[in-house]
Amino acid sequence: MSATAAGGLERAIALGLTQYEYELIVERLGREPNEVELAMFSLLWSEHCSYKHSKPLLRTLPTDGPRLVLGPGENAGAVDVGGGLAVAFKVESHNHPSAVEPFQGAATGVGGILRDIFAVGARPIAILDSLRFGEPTSERSRYLLDRAVAGIGHYGNSIGVPTVGGEIYFEAPYEQNCLINAMCVGLIETERLIRSAASGAGNLLVLFGASTGRDGIGGASVLASAELGEGDEDKRPSVQVGDPFAEKKLMECSLDLLERGLLVALQDLGAAGLTSAACEMASKGEVGIDIDISRVPLREPGMEPFEIMVSESQERMLCVIEPDRLDAVVAVCEHWETAVATIGVVTTGGLVRVLDGERLLGEMPVSALVDDCPVYELDPQPPSAPLYQPPARTIASEEPGEALLALLRSPNIADRRPLFEQYDSIVQSRTVRRPGAADAAVLALPPRDGQTPGIAIAIDGNGRRVAADPYHGTIEAVLECAANLACVGAEPLGLTNCLNFGNPEKPHVAWQLCESVRGLGDACRALEIPVVGGNVSLYNEGAEGPIYPTPVVGLVGELPDVHRAGRLGFRAEGDRIAIVGDFAPDIRGSELACLGGTELPRALPGIDIARVAATQRAVRDAIRSGALASAHDIAEGGLATALAECCLAGGLGAEVVLAETVKPLRALFGEAPGGFIVTGGDGELRALGEHVELHIIGSVSGNQLTIIAGEARVELSLELMREAHGALAALFD
């Protein structure tokens, strides 16, 4: 190997490439890459951009559906919600940046997912977040929580998009690698959706938005495609810095340009910056692109060419326009006080050329950069020994009343209101069901045919259950999210996902990933829900091991009339309470078992997805017809926890009697998919029971929760339960 080649290989390895990948680049180019070319390859061939370990798995997921408008491959997916409207949505991760710099990492994660939505022409109308941190007793976890939540609130509140829901878990495997997943939903007239494929030789490449700086350089390869470890503080320059007020102007400018029909294609600049945006646009349109870096507006003097090409500075968009529309585009950008520059041109021949005026700095085939990235076969092998330490025991007694209070105050179940109060959930005036009022957020759409239709959105995941059984645990996550939609009367139309896993080069992590994707696909096929897109975040581990495998799923559904959207709180004295569904609870892997310090099981019970889906349809239809006063799915903490949550949300007590033969702990605190707590009149409940398994177990009454389960008895006042359930407030003082 020549000295030049050896130096190139050394630089490639420093940028996260392997020797094999460097040799492949040399083969594709027919020569050694220069500094600019090597930087571009290192970003586009990173795990974050190329999905080189997960792409074959993702291709197995179902992506077709009768309401699908945009599927995988675009900035966001979209489904038809009637009335000429589509809902665009996607979930993304910003895990590694948030572990290094939580405020800016989380804030720019929100900014990035917002741009994905308005990049397809949709106006963002809602944000949800899925968060994971270590135990709340940890000083590091408390710091990450405080700063990440502040970053999310800062960005979303400043730009005027409501945060309407989400989830948060605290568990030891996330101590070093917190998870910050953000989902955004947008609304658009279906015919106005725009794609990102560049086209038309001679058309102009226009960059608008913020100036380009050194922040975020190498983020996709330095942070998002490797394990975190010693020296993470040195990676802070790789975390982008966001400005929500600049993004607000950028969003309005983008939507104005689209409204006027001035754009051929539109793409946001996220991971890998100009490199990714331009090359992916060229790949999708099967064209070439010339970029002149001397025309890129810079925030910092003296930036190197490669820095300009890979900078991940925020609040920037790239568009393709016809030359005769340039003046109109510039006028719109000036109106919104948004910087704009023509930086290139669409070409034929399939090459990406980087120039500095007349000087050629790099020339690469688009196919080599984007389409022919190396793809690696996984070596999945189930672990021969437990991967995770048992959680610390935090429960003093398994006496049912004490156990219920312990569950209500546990950080994974306690009232999320202190978290949601950090966010604005009602800006834009679409929110019908605020966080905590129902199992899913409900947003109103424009009135139609004498009704006010709406959409319901939810995001869910349970890493501990997936760690116990990646296949069945992932199915449970999908069913839980769909159950949340059913409780407000919504039919799921499409699913987005974020797959958060450890190092896929390790056989046990590869097995977790393969089994989880298999479960995701089987669940979506059974529920007839297409996967419209998503994100993969790998290498979430450090010296102490991987995170829990955490597939997070987000669903969008529709309901015909938001005025009949379901609520989880009990509504009226005397309403009858019933369990709906073929519910077979199990203590293994449950929240109670976790509080008891029990080791994770090696498997979860099998699931009859078709039966669970039938139960969900029955509950959904009963909500839509107005037959039910309330509905809440039985999830973490089991039946007793669900009953307590219904009592607290409605400010009413309940008297419940279970069969004398039940095993109290399993009946009260066991977990499994498929069960709901519903209330209504005797006649309405018995009518529902003609279509699905249903057992009336009690009535709404008084100001305490009383449960008789075999020989066990629980009697807790609303005041006592509310005090326990408010335990999370201490984290946000």
Active site residues: 48, 94
Distance between CA atoms of residues 403 and 397, nearest Å? 6
The single residue listed with the structure tokens 């792409």 is 55
Three-state DSSP class for residue 88: strand
CA distance 408 to 384: 35
- Cβ neighbors of 152 (< 8 A, separation 6 or more) are 106, 107, 109, 110, 127, 129, 163, 180, 182, 422, 423
Neighbours of 322 (CB within 10 A): 14
| 654-657/704-709 β-pairing | parallel
Calpha distance 702→721 (Å, rounded): 14
Question: Can you tell me the distance from the alpha carbon of 284 to that of 289, in angstroms, rounded to the nearest whole number?
Answer: 12
* Three-state DSSP class for residue 273: helix
- Assign residue 615 a region: left if phi > 0, alpha if psi is -120 to 50, beta otherwise? alpha
Q: Which residues pair with 459 in a beta bridge?
A: 554
- 3-state DSSP of 553-613: EEEEEEECCHHHCCCCCCCCCCCEEEEECCCCCECCCCHHHHHCCCCCCCCCCCCCHHHHH
Q: H or E element: which one contains 250? A: helix 244-259
Cβ atoms of 491 and 517 closer than 8 Å: no
Task: Write the DSSP symbol of residue 314.
Answer: S
Q: Is the dihedral of CA 30, 31, 36, 42 positive or negative?
A: positive
How far is Cα 319 from Cα 321, in angstroms, rounded to an integer? 6
Cα dist. 49→12, 45, 230, 275, 656 in Å? 16, 6, 24, 11, 53
If one counts every other C-beta atom within 10 angstroms of the C-beta of residue 143, the result is: 12
- Continuous segment of H or E residues that includes residue 154: helix 139-159
Task: Report the candidate in 573, 688, 574, 557 with the shortest Cα–Cα distance to residue 626.
Answer: 688
Q: Give every strand in the sheet of 676-680, ordered side by side.
A: 630-633, 676-680, 576-580, 694-700, 654-657, 704-709, 712-717
Q: Is 461 helix (H, G, I), strand (E, B) or coil?
A: coil
Q: CB–CB of 187/123 below 8 Å?
A: yes
Which residues share a beta bridge with 451?
A: 448
Radius of gyration of the chain (CA): 26
CA–CA distance, 616 with 522 (Å, rounded to integer): 17
Assigned token pair, 608:
């009859």
Residue reference for tokens 């018995």: 686
Q: Which amino acid is at 291?
A: I
> What is the b/e burial string over 570-601, where b = at least 16 CB atoms within 10 angstroms of the residue's CB?
bbeeebbbbbbbebebebbbbbbbbbbebebb
Residues 90, 119: Cα–Cα separation, whole Å: 12
